[in-house]
Structure 1
Amino acid sequence: MLTDHQILRIPGPTPIPPSVQRAMNLPMIGHRGEETSELLKRIHPRLKPIFGTEQEVLILAGSGTAGLETAVVNTTQAGDEVLVLVTGSFGDRFAKICETYQLKIHRLDVPWGDAVDPEQVNAYLQNHPSIKVVFATYCETSTGVLNPIQEIASAIQSASDALFIVDGVSCIGGVKAKMDEWGIDILVTGSQKAFMLPTGLAFVAASERAWKVIEENPQPRFYLDLRKYRDNLAKYTTPFTPALSLLFGLEQALNLLETEGLENVYKRHQLMMEMTREACQALDLPLLTADDTASPTVTAIYPEDFEADQLRKVLKTEFGLSFAGGQNHLKGKIFRIGHMGYCTPADVLQFISLLELGLQQIGVKRDFGKGTIAAQTIYLERRK
């Protein structure tokens, strides 16, 4: 194997398109100059359709977690009651951020691998009318669950005036998001997933209702103060030094998404998910999530007759193929495949074929080639 040949199929960071890499290598410019202002003018309106909003999508230099903390610190203050919907490791992270800011946390814990039941959310809010904010994770990266955000939003609206804040880090750009139509108050994502960029940009959009809360919130904040980003964007600048190379790359990533067309982007992700899941089922590899709650961006497999990490090690050593492992209590028990961003059905056929070879090499008896044939069949059936 070539030592510098790596096949990255984890749920982030994801591979970078060559044209995006070239864009990030453009010469540096002054971050307070006219060129940067023109760059921001070009970029910002093009983010709105991906979020499904008419509001401005603000860009922070920071990871997705910075975006999540931004959402918390701008809308809450110590002692506020909040509800966190926890379906995995990243729902739990939202809860930990809330704990840091001394909020009174209600947790609605869902078994890992299951999605949130909107009726449960509705009932919980009716029994706890003091809750001011509900936090949820759109795609729970640790399990491969895609939570029913539209239905959860409706359940919240029928029971409460609470704000609805959504972590969309591992799916925005790969699945539909209709922030305004669904009634999401703050939607957050990051650059290193379906946006096909390195880590380093956080994207945050807020509804008019959320902005009212943000304006009136006495909670101190400095770097993460959304008001600063909004006010500076009106002048096509940023409150702090922007990650210019990433912004160069973002412009080209948006070019790629728009050339393909967002609906086609979403169809591609759905197709890759179906190919992956059908292949795993053909190989008798148990899936952690049900078909109707599975994410188009990441699939989690829960093997019963071999060690997940043994397979991952062989695939990495022999082929340079990286799958992700499990987190928290699923560490060593599952492996996760990322199929988002710069990824196509051809890549799915590659990693399924290599997965079959890996199973053979660790002595797992399966019908060789059955998974690849299953994925090929789905491609032929669903590609149009």
Structure 2
Amino acid sequence: MAQKRYLFTPGPTPVPPQVLAALSEPVLHHRAPDFRIVYERVLGRLQEVHRTNADVLLYTCSGTGAFESAIVNLCSPGDRVLAVSAGQFGERWATMAQGFGCEVEELHYEWGETPAPADLTRRLAELEPVSLVFLVHSETSTGVVCDLQALAAAAKDAGALVVVDAVSSLGAVPLETDEWGLDVVVAGSQKALMTPPGLATVAVSDTAWELASRSTLPRYYLDWERTQAAQAKLDSAFTPAVSLVVALDVALGLLLEEGLDAACARHARLGR
């Protein structure tokens, strides 16, 4: 008899049986009407989970691919940006932005420390102007969850757009994209969304779209405008991971059936 394996990692995480069953179904064609029905439902459910009325773009890539999409769609060479770093993924924002020619400043903490809104306010006052602030809601490398609402407010008060890594927080920790004024929220399928790795999501505010229209960094596969235009027609710009989209549909249904508040309470209870 095959042994049942358990994953005790931040991600990939265990996948519910219903989601695994969806992965065993015949593959749909991504231009077929039956897939479009699933695709439309997934896009709507992603808005519910992100707590936003804005477009949520869906990519076949890892969370890091979603990171890169934020940088190449929002930045131009020489832009001054600030990365708040208290672990591996805050550092990733910084190194990636540097790789694309941004002038990167950091608000650096030791791994395991929690970023403080007052520190961010002081750092932004020193650096003004800053176009973007990169935040990590739940730092996967340390398990620290920051006060995202307060940090975002500090960034907005300084006139910066807020870009958030929510890869390990979306669906596990309360997150209010619209209410908290978050301009871009990126996430992946393989953590609290209970789906295997391979899909990433990007919620984009109207303000972020305005900045993206002025960005001069090159992009193609990760071009938000191209993706948005396709999704508006219930289509994908390129061949997506069809079976993962079907699986994500089932997983999002389970999450919304449980309720986001209940799911977050469950994660908090089990994390004690």
TM-score, normalised relative to structure 1: 0.69
Larger Rg: 1
Does 2:52 match 1:66?
A: no
Identity of aligned residues (%): 38
* RMSD, aligned CA: 1.1
Report the equivalent of 1:192: 190
Opposite residue 95 of structure 2, the aligned amino acid is K
Opposite residue 57 of structure 2, the aligned amino acid is L
SS at match of 1:58: strand
Opposite residue 218 of structure 1, the aligned amino acid is T
Does 2:181 match 1:179?
A: no
**Deviation at residue 38 of structure 1 after TM alignment:** 1.5
Residue pairs, 1:117-266, within 5 angstroms: 117-158=116-157, 160-266=158-264
Are 1:16 and 1:196, in contact at CA under 8 Å, matched by a contact in 2? yes
Are 2:199 and 2:244, in contact at CA under 8 Å, matched by a contact in 1? yes
Are 1:26 and 1:248, in contact at CA under 8 Å, matched by a contact in 2? no
**Deviation at residue 155 of structure 1 after TM alignment:** 1.0
Report the equivalent of 2:26: 27
Q: For residues 99 and 195 of structure 2, what CA distance do their matches in structure 1 show?
A: 29
Are 1:36 and 1:237, in contact at CA under 8 Å, matched by a contact in 2? no
SS at match of 2:179: helix
Residue pairs, 1:1-384, within 5 angstroms: 4-158=3-157, 160-274=158-272
More contact order relative to length (CA 8 Å, sep ≥ 6): 2
Are 1:133 and 1:162, in contact at CA under 8 Å, matched by a contact in 2? yes
Q: For residues 199 and 244 of structure 1, what CA distance do their matches in structure 2 show?
A: 13
SS at match of 2:213: helix
Give 5+ residue unaligned stretches, structure 1. 275-384
Aligned residues: 272
Once superposed, which parts of structure 1, at least 4 consecutive aligned residues long, lie more than 6 Å away? none
Are 1:85 and 1:107, in contact at CA under 8 Å, matched by a contact in 2? yes
**Deviation at residue 3 of structure 1 after TM alignment:** 7.1
**Deviation at residue 49 of structure 1 after TM alignment:** 2.1
CA distances 1:252-296 after superposition (whole Å, capped 9, x unpaired): 10121122111110110111112xxxxxxxxxxxxxxxxxxxxxx
TM-score, normalised relative to structure 2: 0.97
Opposite residue 220 of structure 2, the aligned amino acid is F
CA distances 1:126-168 after superposition (whole Å, capped 9, x unpaired): 121121110011100111100111000111122x211110000
